[in-house]
Chain A
Amino acid sequence: AQKITQTQPGMFVQEKEAVTLDCTYDTSDQSYGLFWYKQPSSGEMIFLIYQGSYDEQNATEGRYSLNFQKARKSANLVISASQLGDSAMYFCAMRDLNAGGTSYGKLTFGQGTILTVHP
């Protein structure tokens, strides 16, 4: 079974500084995908960034980058130049890309990390 662990229940960062949110995963699959989502207090889930297990380069999307270390089974999210609007809950999730020969796209989520950005 897949498992995602986010060990930081809460993180604080000063505006304009960078912050790293930790995510480790456990899977016996060779082909999988890793996702990060942001959930503001309003509740909607916003997709941020994706990393495939066979991607050789770390994914980047604007101020978001994913520090993917396959041997350590970690997929940490790095947010550069934090903004007040980055204050939210952040979820790491994993998808098995070879579920029974098809991909139903099921995600396994971590517990989440609440990020607070201070002015």
Chain B
Amino acid sequence: DVKVTQSSRYLVKRTGEKVFLECVQDMDHENMFWYRQDPGLGLRLIYFSYDVKMKEKGDIPEGYSVSREKKERFSLILESASTNQTSMYLCASNRAYSNQPQHFGDGTRLSIL
């Protein structure tokens, strides 16, 4: 079974802090994704990566950056956290050039105080 692991289920940080959300997958997937989920808005894509050190902006990249130094790990970085970044963050991965679904982690509920 594919396993996508997010480092924290719940996280509380303060405004202005630099926040790291980590995601690791164990199925050698090329593609990895970060979404945020807000009520009434569904899931919105922040960033994705299709290879090591490669990244592409999604629909809402402002205020975020990402890092992919190894194939299995994709990190989301909030450079200076703000209260409007309080949300549920979901990481996903899938194999390139296939119709396979994305496999998701359990999500991180991030609160910025």
Residues of A within 8 A of B (CB): 4, 6, 9, 33, 35, 37, 42-45, 47, 50, 52, 91, 93, 97, 102-107, 109-112
Interface contact B42-A50, CB-CB below 8 Å: no
Chain A, residue nearest B100 (CB): A105
75-100 of chain B: CB within 8 A of chain A: 88, 90, 92, 94-100
What's the Cα separation between A50 and B88 when bound, in Å? 25
Range class of the B interface residue count: 20 to 34
Q: Does B26 contact A (CB under 8 A)?
A: no
Interface contact B99-A111, CB-CB below 8 Å: no
Given A106-B45, A111-B40, 18 more A-B residue pairs with CB atoms under 8 Å apart are A9-B40, A43-B109, A44-B105, A44-B106, A44-B107, A45-B107, A47-B101, A47-B102, A50-B101, A102-B50, A104-B31, A105-B96, A105-B100, A105-B102, A106-B33, A107-B43, A107-B45, A112-B42
Residues of B within 8 A of A (CB): 9, 31, 33, 35, 40-45, 48, 50, 56, 58, 88, 90, 92, 94-107, 109
Residues of A near B40 (CB, < 8 A) are: 9, 111
What's the Cα separation between A104 and B99 when bound, in Å? 10
Interface contact B96-A104, CB-CB below 8 Å: yes
Residues of B near A93 (CB, < 8 A) are: 43
Selected A-B contacts with CB under 8 Å, 5 pairs: A6-B42, A43-B106, A45-B90, A104-B50, A107-B43
Residues of A near B102 (CB, < 8 A) are: 35, 47, 105, 107
Chain B, residue nearest A42 (CB): B106
Chain A, residue nearest B50 (CB): A104
Interface contact B107-A106, CB-CB below 8 Å: no
Interface contact B107-A43, CB-CB below 8 Å: yes
Chain B, residue nearest A92 (CB): B42
